[in-house]
Amino acid sequence: MRAVELFAGAGGLAMGISLAGFKSEAVVEWDKWACDTVRENQRRGYPLVSSWPLHEGDVRDVDWSSIPEGIDLLAGGPPCQPFSMGGKHQAHDDKRDMFPATVHVVRTLRPKTFIIENVKGLTRSAFANYFEYIKLQLEFPEAPRRAHESWFDHLMRLQTEKTSGRLHQSGLTYNVTSTLVNAADYGIPQKRERVFIVGTRSDLDIDWHFPDSTHSEAALLHSQWVTGEYWDRHKIAKRDRPQIPPRLEKRIQALAAKAPTTLPWRTVRDALADLPSPTSAKASSIRDHKFQDGAKVYPGHTGSPLDLPAKTIKAGGHGVPGGENMMVLPDGSVRYFTIRETARLQTFPDGYVFHGAWGECMRQLGNAVPMELGRVVASSVAQALIESELRLLQNTSKKNKAAA
């Protein structure tokens, strides 16, 4: 199966797609530092990225006619600053809004499926009309915005023509589904809420639904406070284990009566258990695991507890946001996550290295899609594509037998 990746960044989503069985025909990213990260891993022979045809530049400047027909998957996370909770919330008025460019590539390549990832802020009530506009453009990519037509007038036209059924009668259309997910529910050691917009081409018999969650907070609480398996696994002596928080007592009682069927959320402690402290001598032998001084607690920025999934790793607009990108140690003090620790929280493999100074690497990681989450979503799409091909072969075989 063949894929194209837009806005690839440091490669988290693209590597997840590769793990799901897709071969990259083009990987596009404009940021020099992120491209240097990919190139450095290619020079080092890292297998998931070694054969990527990397294009450094704007997706709007790529000659898409050079890509052979028959792309199975188009994927990418258009820049999220226009919709980020910490951004300026300008949406369609923000020059960084790359959704129009994404729709253009869909229209040009006609992929069988697409996966678009973005921040939770896209679902805010203030962006409701524009979010609907994004989905309608992806549903009907061959009904583009006309000259001198405002985005809102285009939205009204798309809604009217969809209701009338005219847009479904001919041309390229997609079945589009949007889902807000928490990465922690899929085994990522981080509470990272993101929107996935997935489309399947309407002329194909593709039956897809978002994969069911595999992990839960309830299962984590059960392993911590009912069975104690969590503390046993981490060799935490009973005298050193925290007390059950009073606000959780009734919930723990209910969990004791009926155990969850999912796996426990993965915590910061789970993700970093076998990494030495960055201040120890052993840390010097581990790439990207260097102590960074200066972490401070301030209102609204209190760091990530060890025994929960990390707070959302963020890129920040002016330097690294310390509160989101630091951990709370057992004695109550805080320190920044190292690059390697942050990569673990984003489920990048230990063999994958990052190019640039600490702040630059943290920015790349904050912008990334967790590799494992990308694999989960892309694998579900790959499975749907395979099942579609099998149904097509079966139907063709039946027709041939009937005609014989």
- What is the DSSP secondary structure assignment for residue 281, as one 8-state letter? G
What tokens appear for 119 in the block?
């921040």
Task: Give the Å distances, CA to CA, from 47 to 38, 39, 42, 264, 354.
Answer: 11, 12, 8, 30, 15
* 94, 98, 103, 107 alpha-carbon torsion, rounded to 10°: 130
Burial annotation 347-357 (CB, 10 A radius, 16+ → b, else e): bbeeebbbbbe
Instruction: Write down the catalytic residue from 35, 80, 218, 326.
Output: 80
Spatial distance between the Cα atoms of 404 and 389, rounded to a whole number of angstroms = 23
Spatial distance between the Cα atoms of 359 and 252, rounded to a whole number of angstroms = 40
Quote the Cα angle for 228-230-234, to 5°: 120
Nearest in space to 31 (alpha carbons), one of 89, 74, 81, 103: 81
Quote the Cα angle for 318-321-326, to 5°: 155
Q: Is 80 a catalytic residue?
A: yes
Contact 117, 195 (CB under 8 A): yes
Spatial distance between the Cα atoms of 2 and 116, rounded to a whole number of angstroms = 16
Q: Could you tell me how many helices (H) and strands (E) the chain has, helices first?
A: 13, 11
Spatial distance between the Cα atoms of 122 and 9, rounded to a whole number of angstroms = 20
What tokens appear for 352 in the block?
């994958």
Q: E strand or H helix at 26, and its extent?
A: strand 23-29
Burial annotation 169-183 (CB, 10 A radius, 16+ → b, else e): eeeebbebebeebbb
> What residues are labeled active site?
80
